[in-house]
Amino acid sequence: MSTSSQPLSRRAFGRLAAGVVGAAGLGALSACSTGGGKPSAGTPLRIMAINHVWSQAIQRRTKEFEERIGRRVSMTLLTADQLASSYNVKLNASGTDVDVMMVRALQEQLLFGHNGWLADLSDRVADSEFDWPDFQKAPREASLTAGKVLSVPVVTERPALYYRKDLVEDLGGPPRTLDALMDAARELTQKKKGFYGYVGRGQRSGAVSQWSSFLYSHGGDFVVDGKSGIGSPEALAAYEYYGALLAKAGPPGATNMSLEQAMPIFAQGKAAFYIDADAIYSSFLDPKVSRVRESIGFAPFPAGPAGARPHNIPSWSLGINEFSLLRDDAWEFIRWAAGPEMSAALQSDGIPGARSSVWSDPKTLASFPPDLAEAMRLNAERGLGYDRPRVLQVGRARDIVGRPLVAGILGQSVPPVARDADAEFAEFLVRDNRHKES
Amino acid sequence: MSTTEVSTAPTGTRPSDPKAPRERRPRTFEQANRRLKWAMLTPALLFVGLMIVFPLAFTLDLSLTDAFGAVNADKAHIGLRNFTEALGDTRRFWPAARRTLIFTVGAVLLETVLGLALAMLMRKSFRGMRWVRTVLIIPLLTTPVAIGILWLLILDPTNGIANHLLAAVGLPRQEFLGSVSQSLPTLMLIDVWQWTPMMTLLLLAGLTTLPEEPEEAALVDGANSWQRFRHIILPMLGPTLAAALVLRAVDALKTFDILYATKGPGGGSDFEVETLNVYAYGLTFDYQEYGLAAAVLVLFTLFIIGVVVLLRRRGGRKNA
């Protein structure tokens, strides 16, 4: 190409540059923008959910819903961490590319509500056909933020004591108290043979939710009268108990264990007791992954010095993205997925729901092993509606609360770490309250 | 080329005469070339502006605010408070900075020594060399998260194959990634496993370009293998070694995926592998403290620039 034959004047160059800048700007804007205006009939209803048995069951039934609303449904299943990060990225950009959001009411709702990311569902749940009062009290209360309903619970969870029937026969059955659990777990531990009396979550943050039942059963709480409760004698006793249980009767590497690491150890028959969410029981009945299918038993959470006080929480709920352009369809989805019929159908498939009517229906309970159904019923009756501090920054709070737990599991002296964590948590609560007011 | 040679300006008119018809400005090949050059550069400059300068400026601005919860929420400029908070944080920031340095220095040193040794072995062609080279690059082609999960399974303290092998030869079982004290060294070794091949390939490329005469002359003078390596090959390989070190060190400083895949948020229960990168990610995605996270990232960027400048200066001095 001959440059001299096509010279560019300054003006032409200016026009060219402006054109390129404009095109790039438009390109960038259209790339950044996640859509606007009215969605077309071909726009799918986008649902982001946790990869959980509930979501998988719903995904199998979406065709029925698509036919009902005449719109395609696109459902993305992710891990909890991926889901939280995706929401952060999308909603920080006021993204409209997610309509229905599966959220953890106790983990994200307060913050998302503070950010204005969740639509107010108060008027929608008032629909008499939806029967909002039918939802259990604790999960229903967890759906409220600043007096507004921001989510609808779909999966509930309580801690179950999973145990090996063949090992507790001589002990007179599963332990009914935490002291009995400690004794039995230590007695059954044979570390040299790779067998452990107890397995459970030990990760700093991941263990906090399961530890909450130990804390409540020792008479403690995360926050007492608006102030840090993790330095109380009750909390200290709960920290020391849980640390000792995993240090003396637990497997190696317990501080790196969350659900994904702890569950296989019990499923492989390498532990006598395991306390974790009752919603995961089906994994132990699956012959592909479980060696304890024939020998597993289920019991309610054992009593501590303050009685048996487990948590009973809405582990997963559905909300609507405030920036969604398909809010009516999104609500239709929630009405369908969390409605009385679907809740009953899913609970009949062994997925514990949040509606009182399905819990009082013997047909839906028939899907659970009888001892598990009884444990669930008792735990739900005794349970508190939260398993972590109810603050804006739940992640930071769990990191602070979990530090003494780790110290206990590592065999370190718990009181100095608990004192330090208590001071940090007190300071954190002041900051968190300031954020809430801003 | 002289501009006068190709001038196309019409003669016989006075450019200063306002009544004279407006004449076209003289255009030369060089002028046109210069404008076209800018036209060609514009997309690249726009790309740099949008993708590098804008995010950096945005991060810098964010680091001076109290942004929390949502990036687009109301926020106030609070000066350097985030920087003073980060620099005064002895619980998370400084230990994370220390771990970043330990991880980088430890892993990169081992990778350099092993990479150089392998490159020296592979310098002369041998039977099966192609096969060895192919096998060598497999870890490089595997995604870090997959590597993390793979090693997590191998090193699982209870069910992993590593402990079964140790037990089979009578050695005590180890906790590896389940242990607070063993996690960082274990992850450094995984990094060495993954990235030594890259050092080998870079250094091998450098070795093949070295002239053979100096080494042959040293051989004639009676120098042994070590002397030839120490006094002939190593000094000549200096520039390649320095470039490989800078490349690898910058990459190692930024390591995130393998740490997160194996130890989760916060770098483990006792923050045992929390580096500055992992800490900044946690501040952003777990704590939603965007202002503080941006300040940590600015400090981290300065830290990386400092390391690069230091390595380049040392490399330059050695090569001078």
State the Cα–Cα distance between residues B314 and A124, nearest whole angstrom: 67
Question: Residue A406 and residue B284: Cβ atoms within 8 Å?
Answer: no
Average pLDDT, rounded, for chain A: 91
Residue found under tokens 């090959």: B233
Query: From the CA of B32, how many Å to the nearest CA of chain A?
Result: 5
**What are phi and psi for residue A21, nearest 5 degrees?**
-60, -45
Nearest residue to B153 (alpha-carbon basis) of B162, B141, B144, B164: B162
Three-class SS state of A155:
strand
Interchain CB contact of A289 with B (< 8 Å): no
pLDDT in tens, chain B (320 residues): 334 444 444 444 444 555 555 555 556 777 778 888 888 899 999 999 999 999 999 999 999 999 999 988 889 999 999 999 999 999 999 999 999 999 999 999 999 999 999 999 998 888 888 888 888 889 988 898 999 999 999 999 988 999 999 999 999 989 999 999 999 999 999 999 999 999 999 999 999 999 989 999 999 999 999 999 999 999 999 999 999 999 999 999 999 999 999 998 899 999 999 999 999 999 999 999 999 999 999 999 999 999 888 887 876 665 55
Residue found under tokens 């120098």: B223
- Answer for the pair A211, A238: CB distance below 8 angstroms, yes or no: yes
pLDDT at A25: 47
Question: Residue B270 and residue A92: Cβ atoms within 8 Å?
Answer: no
Residue A81 domain boundaries: 45-157+313-382
Number of domains in chain A: 2
Residue A365's pLDDT band (boundaries 50, 70, 90)?
confident
pLDDT at B319: 56
Residue found under tokens 């909603």: A91
How confident is the model over A77-95, as a mean pLDDT?
93
pLDDT at A404: 97
Q: Within this chain, do residues A129 and A140 fall inside the same structural domain, yes or no?
A: yes
Residue B157, both tokens = 């303290």
Residue in A8, A258, A392 closest to B36 by CB: A8
Q: Which residues of B touch A402 (CB under 8 A)?
A: 269
Residue in A8, A84, A202 closest to B32 by CB: A8
Q: Within this chain, do residues A163 and A271 fall inside the same structural domain, yes or no?
A: yes
Residue A374 lies in a domain: yes
Give pLDDT tens digits for A201-230.
999 999 999 999 999 999 999 999 999 999
Residue found under tokens 């920054």: A393
Q: Within this chain, do residues A412 and A264 fall inside the same structural domain, yes or no?
A: yes
pLDDT at A30: 44
For residue A113, give the DSSP letter: H
Q: Within this chain, do residues A193 and A302 fall inside the same structural domain, yes or no?
A: yes
Residue A349 lies in a domain: yes
Q: Within this chain, do residues A263 and A164 fall inside the same structural domain, yes or no?
A: yes
pLDDT at A31: 43
**What are phi and psi for residue B167, nearest 5 degrees?**
-65, -35
State the Cα–Cα distance between residues A156 and A314, nearest whole angstrom: 4
Residue A251 lies in a domain: yes
Q: Is the pLDDT of residue A337 over 80?
A: yes
Interchain CB contact of A19 with B (< 8 Å): no
Q: Within this chain, do residues A318 and A404 fall inside the same structural domain, yes or no?
A: no
Nearest residue to A405 (alpha-carbon basis) of A389, A418, A393: A418
pLDDT at A50: 95
Residue in B25, B263, B288 closest to A393 by CB: B288
Rg (CA), chain A: 25
pLDDT at A192: 84
Helix H, strand E, coil C: the string for chain B is CCHHHHCCCCCCCCCCCCCCCCCCCCCCHHHHHHHHHHHHHHHHHHHHHHHHHHHHHHHHHHHCECCCCCCCCCCCECCCHHHHHHHCCCCCHHHHHHHHHHHHHHHHHHHHHHHHHHHHHCCCCCCCHHHHHHHHCHHHHCCHHHHHHHHHHHCCCCCCHHHHHHHHCCCCCCCHHHCCCCHHHHHHHHHHHHHHHHHHHHHHHHHHCCCCHHHHHHHHCCCCHHHHHHHHHHHHHHHHHHHHHHHHHHHHHCCCHHHHHHHCHHHCCCCCCCCHHHHHHHHHHHCCCHHHHHHHHHHHHHHHHHHHHHHHHHHHHHHC
Give pLDDT tens digits for B236-295.
999 999 999 999 999 999 999 999 999 988 999 999 999 999 999 999 999 999 999 999
Q: Is the pLDDT of residue A23 over 70?
A: no
Q: Within this chain, do residues A298 and A219 fall inside the same structural domain, yes or no?
A: yes
Residue found under tokens 């390939």: B201
Question: Residue B35 and residue A84: Cβ atoms within 8 Å?
Answer: no
Instruction: Give the domain-ending residue among A366, A382, A398.
Output: A382
Q: Within this chain, do residues A132 and A256 fall inside the same structural domain, yes or no?
A: no
Q: Is the pLDDT of residue A22 over 80?
A: no
pLDDT at B4: 40
pLDDT at A317: 97
State the Cα–Cα distance between residues A199 and A163, nearest whole angstrom: 10
Residue in A114, A399, A410 closest to B266 by CB: A399
Interchain CB contact of B6 with A (< 8 Å): yes
| Residue A45 exposure: Cα atoms within 13 Å on the Cβ side | 25
Q: Which residues of B touch A84 (CB under 8 A)?
A: 285
Q: Which residues of B touch A260 (CB under 8 A)?
A: none
pLDDT at A395: 95
Model ipTM? 0.83
Query: From the CA of A148, how many Å to the nearest CA of chain B?
Result: 19
pLDDT at B26: 55
Q: Within this chain, do residues A91 and A126 fall inside the same structural domain, yes or no?
A: yes
AA identity, residue B197: P
* Inter-axis angle of helices B234-253 and B183-208, nearest 10: 140
Q: Is the pLDDT of residue A8 over 70?
A: no
- Answer for the pair A190, A251: CB distance below 8 angstroms, yes or no: no
Instruction: Give the domain-ending residue among A344, A361, A382.
Output: A382
Q: Within this chain, do residues A407 and A327 fall inside the same structural domain, yes or no?
A: no
Q: What is the CATH number of domain B81-319?
A: 1.10.3720.10
pTM: 0.84
Q: Is the pLDDT of residue A374 over 50?
A: yes
Q: Within this chain, do residues A303 and A358 fall inside the same structural domain, yes or no?
A: no
Q: Within this chain, do residues A197 and A125 fall inside the same structural domain, yes or no?
A: no
Residue A92's pLDDT band (boundaries 50, 70, 90)?
very high
Residue A386's pLDDT band (boundaries 50, 70, 90)?
very high
Question: What does DSSP say about strands A144-145 and A196-199: parallel, antiparallel, or unpaired?
Answer: unpaired
Of A33-42, A375-384, A410-419, B145-154, minimum mean pLDDT range: A33-42
